């Protein structure tokens, strides 16, 4: 049956023929230096790049030869990558442990397309919700939607965590210069009461709309903050819980639970269990962004996503940006053994991009078993971290240049600045390009000596180079390019997941901590001294906390 074609690969990645060939090849090329690779092939910089869906990827500063890429592509082919991509786009249950499709691509599919899930075309549903969101945004922005006291909404506070937080927060910040409203946005995620206090500080409750965003509507952080928001509103506005109803909308795949919380069904924007939390920005989870930039520009972002989706689906692997990036990531993680990679956007508005990509990559691919439950015999998901340029240069770049770890970097830059100002952008770009060159080519002891450096100082001033990087260039940060960029990483993550033969769409690893926290909470709430049943360390911490905390009535 076609639906199973993608899932029957029982061969461990390391047992594949292409893997073997790749290992042999790695041993031959691992010591090659980028200096030599470029010296031998002056056209390398012009050849080792790929362009698609509005993005340009220069991957020439990677420690690879043309043969490396060919072998990586053979590995992708032997791993059934195209079949897995097709299966995801067809809406098959690629999220096998939760028995769901992973159809984030359907969220940005144009009207008129058909993607069938359980015998039903989901595309009309997607557009019906987008239309409802647009209508709602129109009401809020025009002042037709008013709060309990009749005041217009001026502040939107998104309450959600993980995928229900990072996406809307990143996107609203990234595209804030495209905002066509004067709304103020805040994003509340953490359980920490200080986060709540800061989110509502200096905000007029009569002008505040809370968007409670949770796929499950059961997440403790979100439910606790939503309850606190309702109490805050009732206490500030007076009256009953009804007085808060004009100040709440929900975004959820669990409509009954959101309704149970007290949000009227007309104010609930639905999404579906076939959308993973960290892949949900294009769903109603993007409501704050739509409120900020309006439905038209939100649509442009969806188009950007869709273009990259189509590029991923139909472009030969050697010119396919997400495939090339995903395979290079495998090359470093599993052949060179590098344990992290840095995401370095040279764009102020993408300050939260590394945090977003962190959840995307690490929650998706931080897995230890394959889709058939056997051990993954390779190192999965490298740690993702990063910072905007040039800030990072004055912080951790020292380690990138002269540390002992090999950390591949993604430099992300734009040809045109969002706000031209003097020579700022040329300087910014000069720095981005300079870093990729300095990392790749370094500076030899001879070069250092020629500068008249005293002998004893020479070792300290040597840059070994051979530190790999990708450079991703786009014309300008716009809603469209933003969509392209996120989709690029989504599909790169999927590509890696396919090679490891894991399921990038579940996240069982977050469950144990939640269970234990629920159990510990019952001991913290216990008025009697409880008999604790954990390990010695955890028991002692609980006892110490109980003994030393201020009683709630004394706390103020």
Stretch (H or E) spanning 518: helix 511-525
Asked about 247 being catalytic, the answer comes back as: no
Using the contact rule CB under 6 A, the part of the chain among 157-165, 260-268, 414-422, 522-530 near ligand F6P is: 157-165
Distance CA 237, CA 245 (A): 11
Contact 201, 259 (CB under 8 A): no
Q: Which of 108, 129, 363 lies closest to 250 in space, CA to CA? A: 129
Identify whether 363 is a catalytic site residue: yes
Q: Are strands 383-386 and 268-270 parallel, antiparallel or unpaired?
A: unpaired
40: exposed, middle or buried (C-beta count within 10 Å: 0-12, 13-18, 19+)? Answer: exposed
Length of the chain: 556
With CB under 6 A as the contact rule, the residue among 219, 466, 469, 503 that binds ligand F6P is 219
Which region among 32-40, 160-168, 382-390, 409-417 touches ligand F6P (by CB under 6 A)?
A: 160-168
Please give the structure tokens belonging to residue 529. 């001294």
Q: Which of 343, 481, 507, 523 binds ligand F6P (CB under 6 A)?
A: 507
**Which of 28, 111, 296, 514 is an active site residue?**
514
- At residue 343, φ and ψ (nearest 5 deg) are -110, 120
* Rg, the chain, Cα only: 25
Look-up of token digits 């997607």: 126
Least distance (Å) between residue 276 CB and ligand F6P: 7
Q: Is 348 one of the catalytic residues?
A: no
Residues 274-313: x where in contact with ligand F6P by CB under 6 A, - otherwise, as a string: ---xx-----------------------------------
Q: What share of the chain is helix, strand, coil (3-state, %, to 5)?
A: 55, 15, 30
Q: Which of 363, 387, 484, 490 is catalytic?
A: 363
Count Cβ atoms below 10 Å from residue 512 Cβ, excluding itself. 9
**Beta carbon of residue 480, minimum distance to ligand F6P (angstroms, whole number):** 25
Token duo for residue 76: 């992708």
What span, in angstroms and rounded, lies between the C-alpha atoms of 547 and 328?
Answer: 52
163 belongs to the binding site for ligand F6P (CB under 6 A): yes
Cβ-contact 498, 380 below 8 angstroms:
no
**Residue 367 to residue 353: CA distance in whole angstroms:** 22
Nearer to ligand F6P, 363 or 387 (CB): 363
* Interaction pattern, residues 345-364, with ligand F6P; x per rule: CB under 6 A: ------------------x-
**470 interacts with ligand F6P by CB under 6 A:** no
Binder among 161, 211, 258, 474 for ligand F6P (CB under 6 A): 161
Helix (H) / strand (E) element for 268: namely: strand 268-270
Binding mask 109-148 for ligand F6P (x = CB under 6 A): ----------------------------------------
Where does this chain touch ligand F6P (CB under 6 A) — which range of 69-77, 97-105, 209-217, 461-469? 209-217
391 binds ligand F6P (CB under 6 A): no
Q: Which of 162, 299, 345, 442: binder of ligand F6P (CB under 6 A)? A: 162
Minimal distance, residue 232 CB to ligand F6P, in Å: 20
Sign of torsion over alpha carbons 525, 529, 534, 535: positive
User: Which of residues 152, 181, 184, 216 is near ligand F6P by CB under 6 A?
Assistant: 216
Residue 345 host element (H or E) = strand 340-345
In this chain, which stretch among 117-125, 159-167, 232-240, 537-545 interacts with ligand F6P, using CB under 6 A?
159-167
Q: Which of 109, 164, 297, 466 binds ligand F6P (CB under 6 A)?
A: 164
Catalytic residue among 241, 394, 424, 529: 394
Of 76, 28, 17, 42, give the one whose Cα is nearest residue 316: 76
How far from 59 is each of 319, 397, 399, 471, CA to CA, in Å? 11, 20, 21, 7
- 510 near ligand F6P (CB under 6 A): yes
Smallest distance, Å, CB 431 to ligand F6P? Answer: 34
* 503: contact with ligand F6P by CB under 6 A: no
Closest CB 46 distance from ligand F6P, rounded Å: 41
- 3-state DSSP assignment of residue 440: helix
Measured over the CA atoms of residue 515, residue 518, residue 521 and residue 526, the dihedral's sign is negative
Q: Quickly count: other Cβ atoms within 10 Å of residue 209's Cβ.
A: 20
- Answer yes or no whether residue 215 interacts with ligand F6P by CB under 6 A: yes
By CB under 6 A, tell whether 367 contacts ligand F6P. Answer: no
Nearer to ligand F6P, 78 or 257 (CB): 257
Q: How far apart are CA 194 and CA 286, in angstroms?
A: 25
Number of residues that bind ligand F6P (CB under 6 A): 14
Residue 225 CB coordination number (10 Å): 26
Contacts with ligand F6P, residue ranges (CB under 6 A): 161-164, 214-216, 219, 222, 277-278, 363, 507, 510
Q: Residues with catalytic annotation? A: 363, 394, 514
């Amino acid at each position: 049956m076609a639906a199973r074609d993608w899932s029957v690969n029982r061969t461990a990645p390391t047992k594949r023929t292409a893997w073997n060939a790749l290992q042999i090849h790695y041993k031959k090329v691992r010591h090659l230096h980028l200096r030599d690779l470029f010296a031998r092939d002056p056209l390398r910089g012009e050849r080792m790049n790929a362009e698609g869906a509005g993005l340009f990827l220069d991957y020439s500063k990677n420690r690879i030869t043309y043969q490396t890429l060919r072998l990586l592509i053979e590995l992708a082919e032997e791993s059934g990558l195209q079949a897995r991509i097709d299966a995801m786009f067809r809406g098959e249950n690629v999220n096998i442990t939760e028995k769901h499709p992973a159809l984030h691509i359907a969220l940005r599919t144009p009207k008129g397309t058909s993607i069938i899930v359980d015998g039903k075309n989901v595309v009309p549903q997607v557009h019906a919700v987008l239309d409802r969101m647009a209508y709602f945004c129109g009401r809020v922005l025009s002042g037709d939607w008013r709060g309990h006291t009749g005041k217009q909404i001026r502040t939107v506070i998104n309450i959600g965590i993980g995928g229900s937080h990072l996406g809307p927060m990143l996107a609203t910040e990234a595209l804030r210069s495209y905002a066509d409203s004067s709304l103020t946005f805040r994003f509340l995620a953490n359980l920490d009461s200080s986060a709540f206090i800061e989110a509502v500080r200096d905000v007029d409750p009569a002008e505040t709309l809370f968007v409670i965003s949770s796929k499950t509507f059961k997440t403790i952080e979100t439910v606790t903050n939503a309850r606190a928001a309702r109490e805050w509103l009732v206490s500030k506005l007076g009256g009953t819980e009804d007085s808060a109803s004009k100040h709440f909308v929900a975004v959820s795949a669990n409509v009954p639970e959101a309704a149970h919380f007290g949000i009227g069904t007309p104010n609930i924007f639905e999404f579906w269990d076939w959308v993973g939390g960290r892949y949900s920005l294009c769903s109603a989870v993007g409501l704050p962004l739509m409120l900020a930039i309006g439905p038209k520009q939100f649509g442009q972002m969806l188009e950007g996503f869709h273009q990259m989706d189509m590029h991923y689906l139909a472009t030969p692997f050697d010119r396919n940006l997400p495939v090339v990036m995903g395979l290079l990531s495998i090359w470093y993680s599993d052949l060179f053994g590098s344990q992290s990679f840095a995401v370095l956007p040279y764009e102020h508005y993408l300050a939260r991009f590394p945090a977003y990509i962190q959840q995307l990559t690490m929650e998706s691919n931080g897995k230890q078993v394959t889709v058939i439950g056997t051990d993954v015999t390779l190192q999965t998901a490298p740690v993702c971290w990063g910072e905007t340029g040039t800030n990072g240069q004055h912080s951790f770049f020292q380690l990138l240049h002269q540390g002992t770890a090999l950390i591949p970097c993604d430099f992300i830059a734009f040809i045109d600045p969002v706000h031209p100002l003097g020579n700022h952008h040329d300087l910014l770009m000069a720095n981005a390009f300079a870093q990729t060159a300095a990392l790749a080519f370094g500076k030899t002891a001879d070069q250092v000596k020629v500068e008249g450096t005293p002998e004893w100082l020479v070792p300290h001033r040597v840059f070994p180079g051979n530190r790999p990087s990708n450079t991703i260039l786009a014309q300008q940060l716009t809603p469209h390019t933003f969509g392209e960029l996120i989709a690029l990483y989504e599909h790169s993550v999927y590509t890696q997941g396919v090679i490891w033969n894991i399921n990038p769409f579940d996240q069982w690893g977050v469950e144990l901590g939640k269970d234990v926290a629920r159990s510990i909470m019952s001991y913290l709430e216990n008025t009697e001294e409880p008999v604790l049943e954990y390990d010695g360390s955890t028991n002692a911490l609980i006892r110490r906390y109980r003994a030393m905390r201020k009683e709630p009535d004394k706390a103020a």
